[in-house]
Structures are given as structure tokens and as C-alpha cells.
Amino acid sequence: MNDRRVVITGTGIISCVGNSVQEFWDSLVNCRSGIGPVTRFDVSKYRTRIAGEVKNFSIDKYMSSKEARRLDMFCHYAIAAADEAIKSAGISPNLEGLDPTRVGVLTSSGIGGMQTFEQQCNILYNRGPDKSSPLLIPMLIGDMASGSISMRYGAKGPNFGIVSACASACHSIGESLWIIKRGDADIMITGGAEATVSPIGFAGFCSMRAMSERNDDPLRASRPFDAQRDGFVMSEGSGVVILEELEHARKRGANIIAELIGYGTTADAYHITSPAPDGAGAAQAIRMALGHAKLRPDEIDYINAHGTSTPLNDKFETAAIKSVFGQHAHKLNISSTKGMTGHALGAAGGLETIVCALSIKNGIIPPTLNYENPDPDCDLNYTPNKPIERKINTAVNINLGFGGHNAVLVLRSFTS
């Protein structure tokens, strides 16, 4: 298995800071936040009234209105991101010249078709069961992003979805790594998508008191690792990468962005929403990923942290990083791009894996926006408020999810 190297050959993004990889990256390196007042429904009775909504997006660019009505918004985002990723990888939409049985899809969602479920519940309560959509179930189930993408391109390889809350996309990319390494596919279309900016989604997280209530200052509401952080800011979108076996990519002359060399996954076995206080589960996932990558902790240059801007996550994630990296933790550049993008839940790992790949490619580390007040429990170098230029050979992406799910990826610059 380890003889099969896996590289990233394509990327695609829909996000609150841009509906393409270029727009997304330009926003990050120019410190542009995508967070603002919620516009899609009345939030006057909610504790939190801000979000990172996707803007200027139309599914009409990708499919007919009839096709669009058969899919939830999270699938719209997944298909749009996959289209960009496929195109950037130099793959034709009908997989011309490829064996479709060797192309798989693992693009997941932490929650799935929440907007469809909400709308159909209203129909059920107000108009009765006979008025419920026959497409209700296929529209709400979380595996439908993978299913829809495979049908769109005719990809007949391994195909399923993973649900691990906010770690879903990171797990999907990691499991896709192993699918290619063990020889079950040559290409995987993988990542995550989420569309939960809806009344019920907001109601649930508001009741948990998990989201920021800095409603009058949305651009400064998401403040990872800052002492005055008061919760995350929900966002949405999709991040999709094309993973490809190296020799397969070389034979077709693909552009290689970065190499994926490590993956770790563990459980906290502690609490349904809180991370373990010592960060032990996350630390073990980092060690596992470094072990697969055959790297020492002091060989890592950059960490894109989960960094949600919640009091507990940022404190315990910092503890996990210190546990693994020791003194090197203070030499690393760490950032949480959620200061600009908000938290895209099950899509976050797709977006942030792309951040790692682009940081390696471009030699730029995007900052942690709104880090202004030092926290004694968060005392590492979080690359505050402005990007820095630095040669990056290796990068780590960390994503953590409700249920105690920990997922970590290791990327490095590609060398032949």
C-alpha cells in the first residue's frame, strides 16, 4: 500500500468568501471576512443573527431548474465545487480517457439536507402527509452529495459518505487516501459540503449557546484563540479536492499541487459536544498522522487548526498541539482561517485542506483574523491578523467533531 503515492491534482470551492478557489484564496490572503447579518430568514428572535452565507451563487450555471429541485442545497454546493475541481485537474466531465470504475467519490456532509427536512416538516404539519415530497428521503440523506457527483460524471468506483460532524470532510479525504493506496481507485473526488444556515439549524446551535452573539460586529465575531472569543460563527459551502495516484497523474500530465502523506483518526470517548480537556484524542490523531507520514514533529512547518472560536475547543486544541510538538509548537506557524470563513461544519475539512495545499504551493500562510487579546491558555503563534510569506514544506490540517471525532491530515510539497 505505501508504494502508491497520492497527490492533489484539483481543487474546488464554494464559500462565504468566494465561489472559486481563486476568489477564496484572494480573500484569505487579503484578510476579507465573509461573515455578516443573516439574510435568508427572520433572525430577530435568535440570540445569534450573523453567519457566513454563500453569496452570488446560482445552481442554474450547473443544471436545469428541474434537476436542481431534486437536490438539497448542500448537494448544489458539492456539485459546483466538484465541477471546479474536475476542471482544474484537467479531467473531462465525462471522464474521457479514464476507467470510470477506477474513479471514486467520497464527498460528505455532517448534517445533510437540513433545509429540505425543515421545509418538508412544515408541509407535513400544515398540509398533511399526502403533500410530502416523494424526494424527501433522497434529498436529505448525507450520502447524496457523493451519489449525485458520481452520477454527474459517471464515476463508478468506491462511493459513499461519512458522517462525523465537523470532521466529516477531513475523514473523507483521509479515507480516500487509503482507498487509493490500497489500489481500489486511481482518482477520488473527495471533501465535504454543508448548507445549514436555516431556522432549525440556528435554533439548535443557539440553544446550545455555541455560537457567537457579537451580532453588532459581525466582521470581528469569529476570533479563534482570542481571549474574548464567545462562540463560533456558522457558515456553509463546499470544499472538494481531486486525489490521484502519482503515476496515474504523471501519465496524463496532471498538474500536482501537493502530496497527501498522512492521516490520523481517533475518538475522545469523553462527551457528545465537548473535546477532552487535555486534548488527548486530538494529540493521538496528530501522532498517528505523523507516523503514517514518517515525519518527526519538528519537521512540520504549518498547522491549519480547527480553531472554532469557542472557549473550550481553542484551549484544548492548543493543549493537544503542545503535547505533540513540545518546544517546536512555539516555532510553528498556526492559523485558523475560520476567523474569515466562519465554521462550515462538515465542509470545513475540505476548505481547510485546500488552504494547506495552497499555502504549500504559494508560500503564504493566511492569518487568524481577530486575534487581538492574548489568552494564557492559547499562547502559541497563531499568525495573527496578517498573512506571512514563508516556505512551507509540510502542513497539518486538524478537524474535530461532536461525538469526540478527531481527524488529521498531513500534506507536503511535491517532489519527484
3-state DSSP: the chain helix, strand, coil percent, rounded to 5? 40, 20, 40
- Local structure of residue 98 (DSSP, 8 states): S
Residues 6 or more apart whose Cβ sits within 8 Å of residue 182: 1, 4
Instruction: Measure the CA–CA gap between 248 and 234, rounded to whole angstroms.
Output: 38
306 is a catalytic site residue: yes
How many C-beta atoms lie closer than 10 Å to residue 313's C-beta?
A: 26
Contact of 351 with 320, CB cutoff 8 Å: no
Angle among Cα 243, 106, 29 to the nearest 5 degrees reads 55
**From 76, 171, 248, 343, the catalytic residue:** 343
What stretches of 177-257 adopt beta strand conformation (E)?
A: 187-194, 237-245
Q: Which of 204, 244, 37 is nearest to 117 (CA)?
A: 204
CATH superfamily of 264-412: Thiolase/Chalcone synthase (3.40.47.10)
**From 306, 356, 378, 405, the catalytic residue:** 306
pLDDT at residue 3 in the model: 87
Residues 6 or more apart whose Cβ sits within 8 Å of residue 305: 224, 225, 317, 321, 334, 335, 336, 382, 398
**From 166, 170, 206, 356, the catalytic residue:** 166
Q: With 0-12 CB in 10 A as exposed, 13-18 as middle and 19+ as buried, what is 203?
A: middle
pLDDT at residue 2 in the model: 64
- Give the SS3 label for residue 335: strand
pLDDT at residue 416 in the model: 82
Instruction: Measure the CA–CA gap between 14 and 197, rounded to whole angstroms.
Output: 14
Q: Which of 364, 352, 333, 362 is nearest to 398 (CA)?
A: 352
Instruction: Measure the CA–CA gap between 173 and 102, rounded to whole angstroms.
Output: 16
Torsion (CA) 279, 281, 282, 285 in degrees, nearest 10 = 150
Instruction: Supply the pTM of this predicted model.
Output: 0.98
All CATH 3.40.47.10 domain ranges in the chain, comma separated: 7-251, 264-412
| Average pLDDT per consecutive 10 residues, the chain (416 residues; last block may be shorter) | 89 98 98 98 97 97 96 98 98 96 98 96 96 96 97 98 98 98 98 97 95 98 98 98 98 97 97 92 98 98 98 97 97 97 98 98 98 97 98 98 97 94
76 is a catalytic site residue: no
Contact of 7 with 259, CB cutoff 8 Å: yes
Asked whether the CA dihedral 138, 139, 144, 148 is positive or negative, the reply is positive
Of the options 3.30.530.20, 3.30.470.10, 3.40.50.720, 3.40.47.10, the CATH number for the domain spanning 7-251:
3.40.47.10
List the end-to-end C-alpha distance of the chain, in Å, as a whole number: 18
